[in-house]
């Protein structure tokens, strides 16, 4: 949609959303409206609205909250720029000098002669409605300038009075938590050197009680894989902001004269119809990127939970034979293939095929796998090193450390390799490049298994430089090997953000393959990342992280709503289990176009013991829905299963998908539609009234496919 720039008003808008920016100056631009779409005349009024009062005991006139808030304007909240020039030039006062506007973006340039700084702010609004913003500050003075923080702020209105964010731990990532949006600041800092298991993947403000399909919501995400901060702030003057940026350690950014510092992108989405609208904005943007995977997401078998470190060539060939028979399309050899790697305590850094385990190299296994029609993938963890390794013994100086002669506390019996060290970078690039040139590798599972603790380089904090170096390494490998896909794995889901997704083709949501835990992990990861980018595997009957056991049907029904795969020694599966897997994999392949190209929807089901979710094709002619019984319900009869997002003016054939198993039920009599074969129901009925589900046993899921068969007549059941 076109933008307007009249009398200092910049109006970026897409269907359903407007960004109205007051760029009249003389100060920095201020977003005066971020929310429902406005007309240009309304936008011009909002940008310069004359009716805003000021409170007693506050500066006159009312204090603006710019995209970069400044204390010098009277703003008593969190400043966007914090820094100094040897203790001076600590408070900025930028003057807007130039504005450039295109159809979907605006760039603002400002100068502060007092502090000797230039600020450039870039704002974009994508067709999906997702906005992204970033600052670049340049030292125009004659002496060094220390940047302590450079953060983007976006406003939310007074009626956004509830916050949602996420926390977690290993094997239980992205756990939601809600709180009132009260006065003060809710600040989420991540100092782990990677995105983090406990980091909030996004921070959401909304009207009280907002859900997946109702309420106004505003969400932000900091696209950065190192230390970062996300915050919500409400001042007594009822000015409220969401914001964030990179969390800089002391001395990480000291700008020489003429040197710039660029903040990470802050992504921001508004929805007038609940969290599903936020998901649609993020998913639409990710799918529109030139580098988004454009081939069907292959069924994966990863060997970790099948063999662990027991790399026996005959056993692995047998596993590959069964995998190919089941319909697997990508076979991934996990940890244990390189020199000295018999346990997790040794070998990291020695990226050579272990001749003791693989005397004939990996070629026979790779040839066997590819001869079966599957792609071959390989696990690596380039950023880490075991002290018990030839690399560490030869180059202890290549380890991130606070000072010479001092090592950080060990984690998982490993240290972090300093990728910003030119020689360490060159070694990793040479080793990985050689592996990719030597073997027919289509996929790298790139792991990162510990936090960065006391991470320094030549005595200075180095998390920022490490993060940038890893991005460079990933980008160079992709340039040299564009056919190779890379997964971001970090002890499971500890490195999931939109910037690492600029360099990778999927993320591993969690090391936990327990289907019950995965329901929640995938639900909330999927708010920001579309299903085709989220690895989801069927584990063995007994989960190795929780010791729970689940029916195969529940494990399959959970994994199919992501990038589907197996993490299980399927040579031990029974004949019936193999037959069921074969059928499920064929069903997944049939549904891939919908699952990986449609709109993700989640119902606001009244019973917390059951969840409803699905994917609706862009033309709404086909959909796949799941009814998931998480636990026993307090209700004897389940609430109707409503399926949102369908075309209300069409009739749909509702077909149970037995290829994903027939879940156990506990009711005396199942609903007629469930046992009688396909039924035809109007989309309006399905979305507003729903169907009665059977009484499922706990930890069971029922999947159905919906196909439009014609226009609605009376909207009833046929």
Active-site pick, 112, 276, 334, 447: 447
Residue 647 bears catalytic tag: no
Rounded to an integer, what distance in angstroms lies between the CA atom of residue 391 and that of residue 349?
6
Rounded to an integer, what distance in angstroms lies between the CA atom of residue 117 and that of residue 207?
39
Q: Radius of gyration over alpha carbons of the chain, in Å?
A: 27
Active-site pick, 198, 276, 350, 511: 511
Exposure of 11 by Cβ count < 10 A (0-12 exposed, 13-18 middle, 19+ buried)? Answer: buried
Residues β-bridged to residue 628: 611, 701
457: region left, alpha or beta (phi > 0 left; psi from -120 to 50 alpha): beta
Residue 447 bears catalytic tag: yes
Rounded to an integer, what distance in angstroms lies between the CA atom of residue 94 and that of residue 72?
9
Classify strands 4-6 and 9-14 as parallel, antiparallel or unpaired.
Answer: antiparallel
Rounded to an integer, what distance in angstroms lies between the CA atom of residue 267 and that of residue 79?
19
**Nearest residue to 598 (alpha-carbon basis) of 623, 567, 574:** 623
Rounded to an integer, what distance in angstroms lies between the CA atom of residue 442 and that of residue 330?
9
Classify strands 162-169 and 610-616 as parallel, antiparallel or unpaired.
Answer: unpaired
Contact 615, 594 (CB under 8 A): yes
Contact 326, 582 (CB under 8 A): yes
Tell me, letter by letter, the H, E, C secondary structure of 558-579: HHCCCEEEECCCHHHCCHHHHH
Contact 628, 609 (CB under 8 A): no
Rounded to an integer, what distance in angstroms lies between the CA atom of residue 375 and that of residue 439?
11
Residues 6+ away with beta carbon under 8 Å from 429? 473, 476, 477
How many residues does the structure list for the chain? 718
Backbone angles phi, psi at 463, to 5 degrees: -65, -40
Residues 6+ away with beta carbon under 8 Å from 686? 642, 643, 646, 652, 654, 706
The 3-state DSSP class for residue 337 equals: coil
Continuous segment of H or E residues that includes residue 6: strand 4-6
Rounded to an integer, what distance in angstroms lies between the CA atom of residue 445 and that of residue 443?
7
Rounded to an integer, what distance in angstroms lies between the CA atom of residue 581 and that of residue 556?
8
Classify strands 81-84 and 95-101 as parallel, antiparallel or unpaired.
Answer: unpaired
Task: Locate 63 and state its tokens.
Answer: 């204090």
**Nearest residue to 180 (alpha-carbon basis) of 155, 157, 209, 153:** 209
Task: Locate 508 and state its tokens.
Answer: 């591993």
Rounded to an integer, what distance in angstroms lies between the CA atom of residue 174 and that of residue 525?
7
Q: What distances in angstroms separate CA 672 from CA 128, 668, 678, one per listed residue?
A: 40, 12, 10
Catalytic residue ranges: 447, 511
């Amino acid at each position: 949609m076109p933008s307007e720039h009249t009398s200092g008003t910049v109006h970026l808008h897409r269907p359903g959303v407007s960004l109205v920016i007051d760029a009249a100056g003389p100060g920095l631009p201020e977003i005066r409206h971020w929310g429902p779409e406005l007309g240009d005349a309304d936008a011009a009024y909002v940008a310069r609205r004359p009716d805003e009062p000021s409170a007693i005991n506050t500066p006159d006139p009312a204090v603006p909250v710019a995209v970069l808030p400044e204390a010098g304007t009277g703003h008593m909240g969190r400043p966007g720029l914090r820094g100094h020039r040897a203790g001076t030039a600590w408070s900025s006062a930028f003057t807007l000098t130039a504005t450039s506007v295109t159809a979907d973006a605006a760039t603002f340039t400002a100068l502060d002669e007092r502090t000797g700084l230039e600020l450039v702010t870039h704002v974009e609004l994508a067709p999906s409605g997702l906005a992204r913003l970033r600052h670049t500050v340049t030292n125009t003075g004659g002496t060094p300038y220390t940047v302590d923080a450079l953060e983007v702020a976006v406003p939310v209105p007074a009626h956004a009075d509830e916050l949602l964010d996420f926390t977690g731990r290993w094997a239980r990532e992205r756990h939601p938590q809600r709180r009132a949006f009260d006065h003060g600041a809710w600040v989420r800092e991540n100092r782990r050197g990677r995105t983090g298991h406990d980091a909030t993947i996004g921070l959401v403000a909304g009207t009280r009680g907002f859900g997946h399909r109702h309420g106004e919501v505003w969400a932000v995400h900091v696209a950065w894989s190192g230390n970062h901060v996300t915050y919500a702030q409400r001042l007594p003057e009822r000015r409220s902001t969401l914001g964030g940026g990179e969390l800089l350690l002391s001395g990480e950014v000291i700008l020489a004269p003429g040197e710039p510092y660029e903040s990470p992108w802050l992504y921001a989405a508004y929805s007038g119809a609940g969290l599903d609208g936020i998901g649609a904005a993020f998913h639409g943007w990710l799918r529109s990127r030139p580098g988004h995977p454009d081939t069907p997401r292959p069924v994966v078998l990863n060997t970790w939970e099948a063999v662990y470190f027991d790399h026996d060539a005959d056993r692995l060939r047998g596993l590959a034979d069964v995998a190919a028979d089941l319909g697997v399309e990508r076979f991934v050899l996990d940890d244990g293939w390189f020199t000295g790697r018999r346990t997790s305590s040794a070998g990291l850094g020695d990226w050579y095929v272990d001749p003791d385990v693989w005397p004939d190299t990996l070629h026979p296994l790779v040839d066997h796998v590819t001869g079966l029609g599957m792609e071959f993938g390989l696990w690596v963890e380039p950023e880490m090193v075991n002290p018990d390794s030839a690399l560490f013994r030869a180059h202890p100086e290549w380890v991130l450390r606070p000072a010479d002669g001092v090592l950080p506390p060990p984690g998982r019996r490993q240290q972090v390799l300093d990728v910003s060290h030119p020689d360490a970078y060159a070694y990793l690039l040479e080793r990985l490049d050689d592996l990719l040139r030597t073997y027919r590798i289509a996929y790298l599972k790139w792991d990162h298994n510990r936090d960065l603790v006391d991470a320094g380089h030549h005595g200075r904090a180095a998390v920022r430089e490490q993060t940038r170096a890893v991005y460079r390494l990933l980008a160079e490998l992709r340039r040299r090997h564009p056919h190779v896909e890379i997964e971001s794995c970090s002890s499971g889901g500890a490195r999931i953000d939109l910037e690492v997704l600029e360099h990778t083709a999927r993320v591993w949501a969690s090391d936990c393959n327990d289907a019950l835990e995965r329901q929640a992990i995938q639900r909330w990861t999927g708010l920001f990342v579309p299903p085709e980018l989220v690895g989801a595997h069927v584990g063995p009957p007994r989960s190795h992280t929780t010791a729970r056991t689940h029916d195969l049907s529940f494990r399959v029904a959970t994994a199919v709503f992501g990038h589907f795969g197996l993490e299980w020694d399927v040579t031990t599966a029974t004949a019936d289990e193999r037959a069921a897997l074969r059928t499920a994999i064929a069903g997944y392949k049939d549904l891939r176009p919908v699952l990986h190209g449609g709109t993700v929807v989640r119902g606001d089901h009244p019973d917390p013991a059951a969840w409803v979710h699905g994917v609706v094709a862009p033309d709404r002619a086909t959909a796949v829905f799941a009814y998931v019984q998480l636990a026993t319900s307090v209700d004897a009869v389940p609430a109707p299963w409503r399926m949102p997002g369908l075309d209300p003016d069409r009739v749909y054939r509702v077909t149970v998908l037995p290829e994903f198993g027939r879940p156990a039920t506990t009711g005396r009599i199942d609903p007629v539609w469930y046992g009688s074969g396909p039924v035809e129901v109007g989309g309006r009925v399905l979305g507003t009234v729903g169907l009665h589900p059977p009484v499922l046993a706990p930890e069971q899921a029922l999947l159905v496919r919906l196909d439009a068969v014609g226009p609605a007549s009376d909207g009833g059941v046929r």
